[in-house]
């Protein structure tokens, strides 16, 4: 189960998971970054009732209505704003902020107010509302990621009824009571799914494994972030049931992957799972029943919540003697992580490099991670740097001596059922990205 929140991606154009944005948008945002001036604001706008209006007025008037919508928005923006329709009712805007307006939320509110006024077209009076996602572009993250943040924010509004706006930098957690009420039946209703995020070894430029991430898509609450629903899983006593389902779902993936490459699948264990000996026993039983080579599975424990119960540690030790791998997640140079490294002698550690090189991250953070990498290597552990989003970050962790990388620069998480069709494309990306210069 996944305590990490960074990983869901959805396309506003299709409503599906893991799709990238149109190249025109990426190109426009990249060009905007190349010009002098403050960072751009990104608005992802969905016209909530456009589809039903189109059924009434027909295709020709619908096209004209889109032009009117675009003209209204243009009047509120500085010259040079880029606007692009990515679907019949979905418009993306990349713009500088008007003079004297420091907050993109103010622009989004103006757009929403203006689009709420009636539209008159050939005798029809049309009333539309809109769902708007707002993101501030940052030059130190990939353009695709900035666009995705705006899309994700818009989808949060749209799936809760529309007619509102959401900020990518100020995500709102869903109401606790409806979430807890819906969670017990989420598995039975087929709302839980698995996504895979690839990991690539720097030596050889090969995809060596995938981290398994749990996702929840509710028909009303929309996509619920792991950090919002995992505490509910623990509070409601669902850890065992969902953990067993996760294992049952992963084992067929492991068997299928044996036909394409020697891949390792990493399962993220929550703090509640660590203190449930029956979960460790369930893992052992699953290995036996599934006929899985243990080296193909890895359990990643948060380095800050390493179990101290002697009996539980002994159970993990027994699994490791059979070949199951153990990793420490979010490893750094803190005393607690060093103690965990000495106590458990993990096969691998992961460093969270998402903020590496960002202006808002202090130099001491990079120094901390570099020392953590050195300590793990001295202890004989493999080091994976996760959250790699820029080539500068990639080169930094390569220089430290990290063995592998994971993050948006390599690939986004994708639905686990796509593994057999997607692996070859990600392997090709790994070769292009990680191959040493000629």
- Together in a domain, 344 and 366: yes
Q: Is residue 11 part of a domain?
A: no
- Together in a domain, 32 and 109: yes
- Together in a domain, 278 and 370: yes
Task: Give the pLDDT of residue 358.
Answer: 64
Which residues in the chain come in under a pLDDT of 50?
1-20
Q: Which of 135, 167, 199 is the last residue of a domain?
A: 167
Residue 151 sits at the vertex; the CA angle it makes with 149 and 156, to the nearest 5 degrees, is 95
CATH of the domain at 87: 3.30.70.270
CA distance 28 to 40: 11
The total number of structural domains that make up the chain: 2
Q: Which of 167, 196, 211 is the last residue of a domain?
A: 167
CB 202 within 8 A of CB 402: yes
User: How many residues in total does the chain contain?
Assistant: 438
- Together in a domain, 56 and 155: yes
- Together in a domain, 43 and 105: yes
Q: Is residue 12 part of a domain?
A: no
Residue 270 sits at the vertex; the CA angle it makes with 419 and 254, to the nearest 5 degrees, is 25
Burial track 343-353 (b if 16+ CB lie within 10 A, e otherwise): ebebbbbbbbb
- Together in a domain, 295 and 356: yes
Estimate to the nearest angstrom the gap between the alpha carbon of 56 and the chain centroid. Answer: 38
Task: Give the pLDDT of residue 241.
Answer: 84
Tokens of 259: 């036909």
* Share of the chain residues as helix, strand and coil, in percent rounded to the nearest 5: 45, 20, 35
- Together in a domain, 28 and 158: yes
Query: In 3-state terms, what secondary structure has residue 369?
Result: helix
- Together in a domain, 191 and 275: yes
Task: Give the pLDDT of residue 8.
Answer: 23
CA torsion 383→307→298→226, rounded to 10°? -90
Q: Is residue 2 part of a domain?
A: no
Task: Give the pLDDT of residue 18.
Answer: 34
Contacts of residue 258, Cβ cutoff 8 Å, sequence gap at least 6: 296
Tokens of 229: 């629903």
Task: Give the pLDDT of residue 359.
Answer: 55
Task: Give the pLDDT of residue 158.
Answer: 83
Task: List, for residues 161-219, the tens digit of each pLDDT value.
Answer: 788 888 988 776 677 888 889 999 999 999 999 999 999 999 999 999 999 999 898 88
Task: Give the pLDDT of residue 277.
Answer: 61
- Together in a domain, 104 and 202: no
Residues spanned by the domain of 59:
23-167
Q: Is residue 232 part of a domain?
A: yes
Task: Give the pLDDT of residue 210.
Answer: 97
CB 218 within 8 A of CB 201: no
Task: List, for residues 23-49, the tens digit of each pLDDT value.
Answer: 889 899 989 998 888 889 999 999 988
Among 415, 409, 413, smallest CA distance to 429 is for 409
Q: Which of 105, 132, 167 is the last residue of a domain?
A: 167
Task: Give the pLDDT of residue 286.
Answer: 66
- Together in a domain, 284 and 378: yes
Task: Give the pLDDT of residue 13.
Answer: 31
- Together in a domain, 150 and 259: no
pTM tops 0.95, yes or no: no
- Together in a domain, 160 and 186: no
């Amino acid at each position: 189960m996944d305590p990490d929140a960074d990983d869901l991606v959805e396309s506003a154009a299709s409503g599906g998971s893991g799709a990238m944005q149109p190249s025109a948008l990426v190109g426009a945002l990249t060009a905007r970054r190349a010009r002098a001036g403050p960072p751009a604001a990104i608005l992802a706008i969905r016209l909530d009732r456009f589809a039903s209006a189109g059924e009434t007025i027909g295709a020709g008037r619908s096209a004209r209505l889109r032009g009117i919508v675009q003209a209204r928005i243009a009047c509120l923006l500085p010259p040079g704003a880029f606007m692009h329709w990515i679907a019949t009712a979905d418009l993306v805007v990349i713009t500088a902020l008007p003079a004297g307006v420091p907050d993109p939320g103010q622009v989004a509110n103006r757009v929403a107010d203006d689009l709420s006024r009636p539209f008159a077209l050939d005798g029809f009076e049309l009333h539309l509302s809109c769902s708007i996602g707002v993101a501030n572009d940052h030059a130190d993250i990939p353009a695709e990621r900035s666009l995705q943040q705006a899309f994700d924010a818009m989808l949060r509004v749209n799936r809760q009824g529309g007619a509102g706006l959401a900020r990518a930098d100020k995500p709102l957690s869903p109401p606790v009571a409806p979430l807890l009420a819906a969670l017990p039946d989420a598995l039975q209703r087929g709302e839980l799914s698995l996504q895979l995020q690839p990991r690539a070894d720097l030596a050889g430029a090969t995809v060596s494994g995938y981290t398994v991430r749990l996702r929840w898509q509710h028909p009303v609450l929309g996509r619920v972030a792991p950090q919002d629903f995992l505490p509910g899983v623990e509070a409601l006593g669902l850890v065992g049931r969902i953990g067993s389902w996760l294992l049952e779902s992963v084992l067929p993936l492991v068997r299928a992957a044996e036909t394409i490459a020697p891949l390792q699948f990493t399962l993220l264990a929550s703090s509640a799972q660590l203190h449930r000996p029956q979960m460790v026993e369930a893992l052992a039983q699953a290995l036996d029943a599934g006929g899985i080579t243990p080296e193909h599975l890895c359990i990643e424990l948060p380095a800050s919540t390493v179990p101290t119960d002697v009996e539980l540690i002994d159970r993990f030790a027994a699994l490791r003697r059979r070949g199951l791998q153990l990793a420490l997640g979010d490893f750094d140079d803190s005393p607690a992580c060093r103690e965990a490294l000495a106590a458990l002698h993990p096969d691998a550690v992961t460093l969270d490099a998402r903020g590496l090189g960002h202006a808002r991250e202090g130099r001491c953070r990079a120094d901390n991670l570099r020392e953590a990498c050195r300590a793990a290597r001295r202890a004989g552990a493999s080091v994976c740097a996760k959250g790699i989003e820029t080539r500068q970050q990639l080169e930094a962790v390569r220089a430290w001596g990290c063995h592998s990388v994971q993050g948006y620069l390599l690939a986004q998480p994708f639905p686990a059922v796509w593994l057999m069709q997607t692996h070859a494309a990600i392997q090709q990306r790994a070769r292009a990205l990680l191959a040493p210069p000629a």
